[in-house]
Amino acid sequence: MRVYQVPQHAFLLLVGGALLAAAPHLLLGPPWLRILLPLLLLARVLIQRGRLAMPGRMVRVVLLAGVVLGTLYTHGTVLGPEAGTCLLIAAFGLKTLEMFRLRDAYVLLVLGYFVLATTFLFYQSPLAALYVFVVMVLLTASLVGINRPETGARSRTHLRLASVMLLQALPLMVLLFVLVPRIAPLWALEFQSEGARTGMSDSMAPGEVSRLTESTELAFRVEFEGAVPSPAERYWRGMTYSLFDGRRWSQASPGGLPRPDLVIFPGQGTAPWHEQLQAQHAAMADTDAAPVYRYRVVQEASRRPWLYTLAVPFVRGPARGIGQVRDFRLVKEGDIEQRFAYSVESYPLLTAAVGLPDWERDFNLALPELGNPRSRQLAQRLFDAEGGDVEAYALRVLAHFRQEPFYYTLEPPLLGGNTVDEFLFDTRRGFCEHYASAFAFMMRAAGVPARIVAGYQGGELNPVGNHLRVHQYHAHAWAEIWIDGQGWVEFDPTGAVAPERIERGMDRFLGREMGALQNLLSGAAFSRNPLLARLRNSIDYLQFSWQKWVLGYDESSQMAFLERWLKDVSPLRIGLVLLIGTVAILLPVALWVLLRRRGPPRSPLQREYRALRKQLLRSNIAVSEGLPPRAVSETVARACPAAADAIRAWVSQYEQAAYAEHADAQALQRLRRLRRALRWRLRRSALSG
Amino acid sequence: MQKLHDALERVGKVVLGKDEQIRLAVACMLARGHLLIEDLPGMGKTTLAHALSRIFSLDYQRVQFTSDMLPADILGVSVFDPDSRRFELRKGPVFTQLLLADEINRATPKTQSALLEAMEERQVTQDGESRPLPQPFFVVATQNPLDQGGTFPLPESQLDRFLMRISLGYPAPEAEMSLLRAGDLRERALDMSPALTVAELMALMAEVEQVHASEDLLDYLQRLLEHSRGCGWFTAGLSPRAGLGVLRAARAWALLDKRKYVIPEDIQAVLKPVCEHRLQSASGGTAGGAASRLLEAVPVVR
Amino acid sequence: MATAGMRSLYRRWLDRRMPAARQQQLTQRRIFILPTGYGVFFMVIAGSLFLGGINYENNLIMALSFLMTSLFMIAILHTFRNLSGLVLRAGRMAPGFAGTDGALELVLHAGDQQAHTGLWLAYPGAAPEEVSVSPGEEKNVWLSVPLRRRGYNRAGRVRIESRYPLGLLRAWSLLDMDQACLGWPRPLASEECPAGGGEQLQGQYAGRQRGSDDFQGLRSYQEGDSPRQVDWKAYAAGRGLHSKHFADPAEGWLWLDWSLLPAMDTETRLGRLAWWVLALEQRQQRYGLRLPGTELPPALGADQRRRALDMLGLYGENIQGGEH
């Protein structure tokens, strides 16, 4: 079979583009793919050079079968994004051996675009986007190359044209990106990216949160509209634990309770508590004076459904896939498998909005029948001492932590059976979960409804973007108790023991506690060098903006954005703006492309000549462009005898400058002077005439 | 230089009222070009050629072309000399400094091309032996535009060998009056005394090549050439050779104006005689007025 | 029936929109543009990436699909530009025998700032030619044209097409360059040579045709020296052409004569004459040609062959567009 010869000037671009398009997948994919693809491309190079024959049909069929088997072996399936891309890459490589006609080269290149797009399933950083753009230039340049059959062409011109075209396409792409309506996924896709679950889990035993603090990984970033709350107010609630089995606190609900009593997802009906909450929210939103925080969170993939918000959160904009939970939290429907952005407003004063029905009161009072007797006694004693005043009692317990020799440490000793008793009376060294757990136990023991809240506390302010970075080491646990008339009130016993942990932030605290290596990782070392700190903050800001505006530009941010600019958002309006925008962007490009008959380059002397002609035109002396200078001067002299000498002087000077062998450097200035003199003459004669 | 102007003036006294054409003819000579005069008989073509040869003290030969003329009639013949028993070249009339080729279109293409080859190469090759023509060497050819019967019009490629084509035309009324009063001026042309020696003429020709042509001027010329190719008025635009011809002629014209550099006026003055015989109108026929159309269309300064 | 009607409607519309001219510039009015199959494929891929982006809620994949869409739109402009501004001029023609292909020359001229790359030109029914024109350059292409009949064949509309730069779109124009190509009569072999001997053996041409470089300088030759007489009668009686008389080209000539052919239709007569022109040319036999109303003086060589065939081709034609 005759092999289609890719033009030599396009071949390198084609092979390079194919290799680079597949390269990110080669890093991730199975080892056999890593070897196969370069081999296939090498074979293609050899075929092009005539060193190797095009493989026959049998060879290709065997190769294809091998690829399918390999994929099955590696992924256990040929479906799904990972196995699918693996298969796609391999097929892409095989296609290079099948270029019999120009059409096959086309198909290969379009497959290349497709392969390139799948890069984004695994990499989403700005650098990845830049990489994809560069490879796109290469693929487009190959496309230019195969459309240019003559052999004399140069790869460099293809590259230049492709770059120009892609750069011209960028503004239009941005317009489409901003305006094309985001619609809901058409069918559900399970995308399981690999990686461990991070952050909090749905239960907590002593020593588990402190393990998290060893990680410097980013949990989420938050950007506030308006002032950023002070460090002591930054309690990011992720989940509540109401069930205590004597050692472990877990997230649970009373058996037999219907789901809508706990969580409501949009479009899935409603429940009385939810309506009540919504009504109070609406009432609160109408009073301008009510304290409120408005912010946007961009959360890293955690493979868990919990979203992190300040107390009493409400989703802003379309809340697709985000549920409102009875205990003032938000959860996502399904786990967060990739970076997820959401906009929230929090009303701290709505903590009593839902009320406390009997079943919930009972649930938040439940303690195991036995265990921790000393703590129960202490609780009863202190409660009685405060005369049954719940708030005073809670403060008394905090004072107990403060006054007795309790220590806040990252490395607490291990506890035995009666965890609360051992901690409260024997070891007295613990991390936040010890304190929160002990506090909640004491409350319940005294008959005060209480629960543990887990999430993050604090956050590091990036002054460049004025946003907070919350890391895993900000993980925290604290408690909430029900006070009639106030609702659920937050109490953080850790603050009683180590107030600087709350007020100055975990970062400073860790700086003291952690070893040098973690110190470095946490960025504490950076913060000491102002230049490095600024650099780090700028990079962080760039990443955050990228996440917020590019990766996290979803239906709600689109709506918010469009409402800001279009006021009334209707499909017609969006369509109209899209149309006008497209025309507005394409028109300059069209003019540039179609009317690029650039004027001839002119020297200063030639511009001076143009200036003279313009001046003559203003004086209504028409001079044909084809007239040589001397004829011009005679025409002017006839039209305006008063200016005869002036124009002759100018023309003779011009002739010297433009045509004589030794033009002098001052000629241009002299010409300008002479032209001014001429203008004066022309004007005077126009006035007198 | 002054002598050159004396010469022009004196030729003007013999060829009356044709100062422009005389000037062009002299410029053509100074630019080492050959001249084609297209005119009806009796317009003074011969007189002009004659006067030019006298005034520059050049050897002069006149050949009347006919259809039975063979190349040998122009170039010369190899004859067998019985005494020396060798072939010897009997030089033809082409071995002269100024050759007047009268009614060149009457000769057959073969004879024409023999002459034109000699013009181009400035040497004659016969029996494998090249003999250079004298220095300087000019051909002034004439042809009768109306004379169609039994003629062989010069093909385009041959016309290209002539630097200029001019026509004298009827004299102006006053000039004609003086002509009538003076009688036949041909006699007077024969009696003219030389104004320049051959050496002086050669020096002037060397000087022409030193005339400066600036970038701006070359740009103008280049745009003229380009326009002739792109405008679609002609079957083919001006060749690079034509461009070089214009430049040489313009240099000579500038020198006649006592200038050491070329200005656009020089180009404009020589464009018509240098270019029009090289262009053919796309709509068929000759390209009359081609030069002025080009000059109107192309700006002198960008 | 309906398609034929549509086609003639389309043709009339084309004629109104783009009338025939021997020089034309490709302007907005004259260029059509549509996506190629490959362009459609490209957009399908972009669309499926859009769906993928939606489903995986992946903004970057969506952005890439938008970039592909934008690139497609930009490519419309570039493809259009690649044709726009090109000046075409009808050039010479190279006739051929009816039933074979002739060729027509087109001269393409690019503006100062603009290149026209990867252009494919074709007259209907013939294979396309590829050409690229650099800025300010002039290029000529010869396009073959099928010659369906003897005489002038109108070439129809030349299709000039380009997919450069990306192959996603096809821009084309159909221009009537007012060109026609001459078809010579298809040669018809025959035994009898329709020729009569030249009685007039002296003439102006004789001397000239005999001349060759050998004669230079030998004045002894006298113009009008008679060559030996040929036995034309025997030849005309059909005894064949292998007579030794034909060995020396300088010795005589034949007049191929229309009137010597027995009554038969015009095309057959012309075909026979054409065949004999070729035959005599091959035998190096000098010949002239006489048709009713015209005459070609005897000579030999490529020019003579061309002139004779042209004359046969043109017989009975209105002279039009035959500039060459």
Provide the pLDDT for residue B282.
64
Which residue of chain B is at minimal alpha-carbon distance from A663?
A: B214
CB contact under 8 A, A107 and C164: no
CB contact under 8 A, C71 and A166: yes
**Do B41 and B81 reside in the same domain of the chain?**
yes
**Do C15 and C157 reside in the same domain of the chain?**
yes
Q: What is residue C318's DSSP assignment?
A: P
**Do C39 and C147 reside in the same domain of the chain?**
yes
Considering Cα of A269, then A273, then A275, then A280, what sign does the dihedral take? negative
Average pLDDT (B170-183) is 82
CB contact under 8 A, A121 and C61: yes
Please name the member of C23, C138, C215 whose beta carbon is closest to the beta carbon of B229. C138
Chain B adjacent subunits, 3+ CB pairs under 8 A: A, C
Secondary structure of residue A562 in the 3-state scheme:
helix
C190 within a domain of the structure (yes/no): no
**Do C175 and C236 reside in the same domain of the chain?**
no
Q: C157 Cβ partners below 8 Å, 6+ apart?
A: C14, C124, C174, C175, C176
Nearest residue to A287 (alpha-carbon basis) of A349, A352, A225: A349
**Residue B108 in contact with partner chain C when CB distance is under 8 A:** yes
CB contact under 8 A, B264 and A606: no
**pLDDT of residue B232 exceeding 80:** no
d(CA C166, CA C68): 12
| Per-domain boundaries in chain A | 8-179, 203-545, 555-594, 604-688
Nearest residue to C212 (alpha-carbon basis) of A56, A511, B294, B110: B110
Q: Which residues of B touch A661 (CB under 8 A)?
A: 212, 214, 260-261
Q: Where residue A595 falls among pLDDT bands split at 50, 70, 90?
A: low
**Do B56 and B136 reside in the same domain of the chain?**
yes
Please tell me which residue in A9, A158, A400, A432 is annotated as part of the active site: A432
Tens digits of residue pLDDT in C181-211: 889 999 988 877 787 654 443 333 333 333 3
Average pLDDT (A295-312) is 88
Q: Which residues of C touch B230 (CB under 8 A)?
A: 87, 109, 111, 136, 138
**Do C19 and C157 reside in the same domain of the chain?**
yes
Q: Are B65 and B104 in contact (CB under 8 A)?
A: yes
The larger pLDDT score, comparing residue A230 to residue A56, is at A230
- Domain end among B147, B174, B201: B201
The rounded mean pLDDT for chain A is 83
**Do C301 and C159 reside in the same domain of the chain?**
no
**Do C143 and C199 reside in the same domain of the chain?**
no
Reported ipTM exceeds the 0.95 cut: no
Give residue for tokens 């040319």.
C281
d(CA B112, CA A577): 75
**pLDDT of residue A535 exceeding 60:** yes
- Domain end among B159, B182, B201: B201
d(CA A634, CA A621): 12
Computed on alpha carbons and rounded to an integer, the radius of gyration of chain A in Å comes to 37
**Do B267 and B189 reside in the same domain of the chain?**
no
**Do C146 and C289 reside in the same domain of the chain?**
no
Residue B80 bridge partners (DSSP): B87
Chain C adjacent subunits, 3+ CB pairs under 8 A: A, B
**Do C170 and C200 reside in the same domain of the chain?**
no
Provide the pLDDT for residue A689.
55
The larger pLDDT score, comparing residue B287 to residue A687, is at A687
**Do C26 and C169 reside in the same domain of the chain?**
yes
Q: In a mutagenesis test of the B interface, which of A659, A661, A662, A668 is the best target, namely the one with the most B β-carbons within 10 Å? A: A659
Question: For chain C, what is the domain count?
Answer: 2
**Do B285 and B164 reside in the same domain of the chain?**
no
C80 within a domain of the structure (yes/no): yes
Provide the pLDDT for residue C237.
52
CB contact under 8 A, B216 and A659: yes
Average pLDDT (A352-363) is 87
Provide the pLDDT for residue C247.
31
Average pLDDT (A71-91) is 80
Residue A455 to chain C, least CA–CA distance (Å): 26
Give residue for tokens 């041959």.
B158
Q: Where residue A504 falls among pLDDT bands split at 50, 70, 90?
A: low
- A492 catalytic residue (yes or no): yes
Which domain range does residue C157 map to? 9-182
Chain A adjacent subunits, 3+ CB pairs under 8 A: B, C
**Residue A594 in contact with partner chain C when CB distance is under 8 A:** yes
**pLDDT of residue A643 exceeding 50:** yes
The larger pLDDT score, comparing residue A471 to residue A552, is at A471
**Do B84 and B151 reside in the same domain of the chain?**
yes
Tens digits of residue pLDDT in A603-628: 788 888 888 888 888 787 877 778 88
B149 within a domain of the structure (yes/no): yes
Tens digits of residue pLDDT in C102-141: 999 888 888 767 788 889 999 998 888 888 888 777 788 8
- Domain end among B148, B172, B201: B201
Q: Where residue A188 falls among pLDDT bands split at 50, 70, 90?
A: low
Single-letter amino acid, residue C168? L
**pLDDT of residue B122 exceeding 50:** yes
Provide the pLDDT for residue C215.
28
Q: Which residues of C touch A84 (CB under 8 A)?
A: none
**Do B148 and B28 reside in the same domain of the chain?**
yes
**Do B40 and B157 reside in the same domain of the chain?**
yes
Question: For chain B, what is the domain count?
Answer: 2
- A400 catalytic residue (yes or no): no
In this structure, of A674-678, B123-127, C91-95, C217-221, the range with the lowest mean pLDDT score is: C217-221
Average pLDDT (A646-662) is 88
Q: Are A337 and A303 in contact (CB under 8 A)?
A: yes
Provide the pLDDT for residue A616.
85
Q: What is residue A345's DSSP assignment?
A: E
C72 within a domain of the structure (yes/no): yes
**pLDDT of residue C230 exceeding 50:** no
Q: Where residue A564 falls among pLDDT bands split at 50, 70, 90?
A: confident
C101-109 and C32-35 strand pairing: unpaired
**pLDDT of residue A488 exceeding 70:** yes
Average pLDDT (A43-63) is 83
CATH number at residue B272: 1.10.8.80
Please name the member of A120, A140, A170 whose beta carbon is closest to the beta carbon of C58. A120
**pLDDT of residue A601 exceeding 80:** no
**pLDDT of residue C282 exceeding 90:** no
In this structure, of A40-44, A79-83, B290-294, the range with the lowest mean pLDDT score is: A79-83
Q: Where residue B42 falls among pLDDT bands split at 50, 70, 90?
A: confident
Interchain CB contacts (distance < 8 Å): A and B: 56
Q: Which residues of A touch B262 (CB under 8 A)?
A: 659
C187 within a domain of the structure (yes/no): no
Q: Which residues of C touch A120 (CB under 8 A)?
A: 58, 60-61, 64
B206 within a domain of the structure (yes/no): no
Which domain range does residue B256 map to? 211-297
Please name the member of B68, B71, B237 whose beta carbon is closest to the beta carbon of C216. B71
**Do B115 and B262 reside in the same domain of the chain?**
no
**pLDDT of residue A220 exceeding 60:** yes
**pLDDT of residue B210 exceeding 60:** yes
Q: Where residue C68 falls among pLDDT bands split at 50, 70, 90?
A: very high
The rounded mean pLDDT for chain C is 77
Tokens (6 digits) for A551: 């990766």
d(CA A76, CA A87): 12
d(CA A295, CA A342): 9
Interface of A with C in 325-364 (CB under 8 A): 338
- A432 catalytic residue (yes or no): yes
